[in-house]
């Protein structure tokens, strides 16, 4: 367990030193959210309708942007191999990396989204649901994305390849995440959506370290 926290702390420290990488993905999120009103028009009623979807897709794409970073830096300087050779269970260490990735790339999206949601004239309770759905959904994205990142370590065409691999798998999260916000908007209540997001979160956190370890072993042997 100690290894888990040490790894997370180390990754957070490293991310702090390489702020530019982290911030650029967040900046991407902000820009994408601004692009849609510019392209489609500023009419408030329509923005309110597309807002949840646009913000969710933006968060999704920003997540994908940050995925190559998950294992790449450690792989390049050899510390990934050290982690794999260490006596600690690889699944635990991978979970640590996914955790720190989410803290650095996913959690800021959760915080930023409501602010961007104001651009789309979304009411407060809807913004709240937006944050909640992202809070539950972005860890799942990190879990699934980590597997894509592990499989494509050092492969040509990395970023786009990860997107191609991982986007179809993201669809259920997107459907229920954005759906939760829209349900809130239309007054139907998002109970069911939130339950399903939770139902996706738990198995994702449970199984993805195992799948990622397998993927890392495939990539590195």
Partner 1 sequence: MTMRWFYYAAPQTFYGLAGRLWPWLAAIALALTMAGLWVGFGLAPTDAQQGEGYRIIFVHVPASWMSMVIYLSMAFWSVLGLTFNTRLSGMMTRALAPTGAMFAFLSLWTGALWGKPMWGAWWVWDARLTSELILFFLYLGYMALTSAIDDVRRADRAGALIAIVGAINVPIIYFSVKWWNTLHQGASVSLTRSPSMAQLMLWGMLLMALAMWAYTLAIVCYRVRTLIIERERHTDWVQALPEVAGVKA
Question: What is the 3-state secondary structure of the chain?
Answer: CHHHHHHHHHHHHHHHHCHHHHHHHHHHHHHHHHHHHHHHCCCHHHHHHHHHHHHHHHHHHHHHHHCCHHHHHHHHCCHHHHHHHCCCCHHHHHHHHHHHHHHHHHHHHHHHHHHHHHHCCCCHHHHHHHHHHHHHHHHHHHHHHHHHHHHCCCCCCHHHHHHHHHHHHHHHHHHHHHHHHHHHHCCCCCHHHHHHHHHHHHHHHHHHHHHHHHHHHHHHC
Q: Is residue 205 within the footprint of partner 1 (CB under 8 A)?
A: no
CB of 91 to partner 1, least distance (A): 15
Q: Is residue 180 within the footprint of partner 1 (CB under 8 A)?
A: no
Q: Is residue 164 within the footprint of partner 1 (CB under 8 A)?
A: yes
Q: Is residue 165 within the footprint of partner 1 (CB under 8 A)?
A: yes
Q: Is residue 147 within the footprint of partner 1 (CB under 8 A)?
A: yes
Q: Is residue 194 within the footprint of partner 1 (CB under 8 A)?
A: no
Stretch touching partner 1 by CB under 8 A, among 77-85, 115-123, 124-132, 207-215: 207-215
Q: Is residue 176 within the footprint of partner 1 (CB under 8 A)?
A: yes
Q: Is residue 87 within the footprint of partner 1 (CB under 8 A)?
A: no
Among residues 66 and 208, whose Cβ is nearest to partner 1? 208
Which positions lie near partner 1, rule CB under 8 A?
147, 151-152, 155-157, 161, 164-165, 167-169, 171-172, 175-176, 179, 183, 196, 211, 214-215, 218-219, 221
């Amino acid at each position: 367990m100690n290894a888990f926290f040490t790894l997370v702390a180390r990754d957070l420290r490293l991310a702090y030193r390489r702020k530019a990488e982290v911030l650029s993905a967040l900046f991407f999120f902000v820009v994408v959210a601004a692009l849609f009103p510019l392209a489609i028009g500023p009419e408030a009623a329509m923005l309110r309708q597309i807002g949840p979807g646009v913000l969710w897709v933006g968060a999704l794409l920003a997540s994908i942007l940050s995925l190559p970073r998950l294992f790449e830096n450690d792989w390049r300087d050899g510390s990934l191999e050290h982690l794999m050779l260490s006596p600690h269970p690889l699944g635990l260490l991978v979970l640590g990396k996914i955790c720190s990735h989410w803290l650095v790339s996913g959690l800021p999206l959760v915080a930023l989204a409501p602010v961007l949601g104001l651009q789309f004239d979304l009411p407060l309770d809807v913004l709240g649901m937006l944050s909640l759905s992202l809070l539950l959904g972005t860890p799942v994205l990190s879990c699934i994305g980590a597997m894509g990142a592990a499989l494509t370590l050092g492969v040509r065409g990395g970023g786009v390849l990860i997107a191609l691999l991982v986007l179809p798998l993201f669809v259920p999260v997107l459907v229920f995440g954005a759906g939760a916000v829209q349900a809130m908007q239309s007054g139907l209540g998002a109970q069911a959506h939130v339950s399903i997001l939770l139902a996706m979160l738990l198995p994702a956190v449970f199984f993805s370290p195992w799948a990622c370890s397998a993927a890392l072993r495939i990539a590195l042997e």
